[in-house]
Amino acid sequence: MPALLRSLVPARLPDLLPARWPAPSAARSPAIAPGSGPPRAAGFTLVEVMIGLAVGAALLFAAAGSLGSWIPRAEQRNQADALVQALHHARSEAIKRGHRVDLCPSADGATCDAAGRWELGWLLFDDPDRDGDRAAGEAIVRVEARAGNGITVRGNRPVAGYVSFTAQGLARLASGALQMGTFTVCKPGLDTIEVVLANGGRPRLQEVPVRCP
């Protein structure tokens, strides 16, 4: 009988015990680093917006001041460049046509201005009689409009009333003497720009650190 009982009882009691269910694990929340709060919404604070507006206004003010001084200088430079190109044109036309071609100041686009006010505009014309003045029958090659914007253009004595180019491309007075001189292009408050006519008949531009009146 004891042997029979032993055969009915398992050698290991734990085999008869029910399996132990693992305890449900709690859902883990993501770790948060010390000192960090919830994520910040995208955008700017009022202080940041005000600082940005102040910086933008300062930059705009600086740019406006720079632009305000650049535009008058550009106008003055453009007028000086236009005179240089007109002198080159007159020289090339004289060579091409084989006789004198003149450039003179003109207010009406038909006659030369006796007062030498080049800022009123200028006139490029054939001058076969070589007198430095346009007669009624002499052909007009080109007319330039007045400068405007407070710009003045004046030549010193040799080039005050006209510039005349020969068929060889040389600048000569009506008397036949060598013609050399300087035009002063001015705008109030800015430095002077000069157009210099050299002895070879070729003009050049130079800036002079002298304030225009």
What secondary structure, in 3-state letters, does the chain show?
A: CHHHHHHHCCCCHHHHCCCCCCCCCCCCCCCCCCCCCCCCCCCCCHHHHHHHHHHHHHHHHHHHHHHHHHHHHHHHHHHHHHHHHHHHHHHHHHHHHCCCEEEEECCCCCCCCCCCCHHHCEEEEECCCCCCCCCCCCCEEEEECCCCCCCEEEECHHHCCCEEECCCCCEECCCCCECCEEEEEECCCCEEEEEEECCCCCEEEEEEEEECC
pTM metric for this prediction: 0.70
Which of 16-30, 51-65, 86-100 is predicted most confidently?
86-100
What was the pLDDT predicted at 74?
Answer: 96
The count of C-alpha atoms lying within 13 angstroms of the C-alpha of 132, restricted to the half-sphere facing its C-beta, is 18
Q: Which fold has domain 63-211?
A: minor pseudopilin epsh fold (3.55.40)
**CA-wise closest residue to 75 among 183, 182, 187, 155:** 187
Least confident interval from 62-66, 94-98, 120-124: 62-66
Contacts with 148 (C-beta within 8 Å, 6 or more apart), sequence order: none
Percent of the chain with pLDDT over 90: 65
pLDDT at 207 over 60: yes
pLDDT at 31 over 70: no
pLDDT at 204 over 70: yes
What was the pLDDT predicted at 102?
Answer: 98
Which strands make up the sheet holding 122-126, listed edge to edge?
140-144, 122-126, 101-105, 163-165
Residue 173 in tokens? 């007075």
Domain coordinates of the chain in residue numbers? 63-211
Parallel/antiparallel/unpaired status of strands 101-105 and 152-155: unpaired
Confidence of residue 152 (pLDDT cuts 50, 70, 90): very high
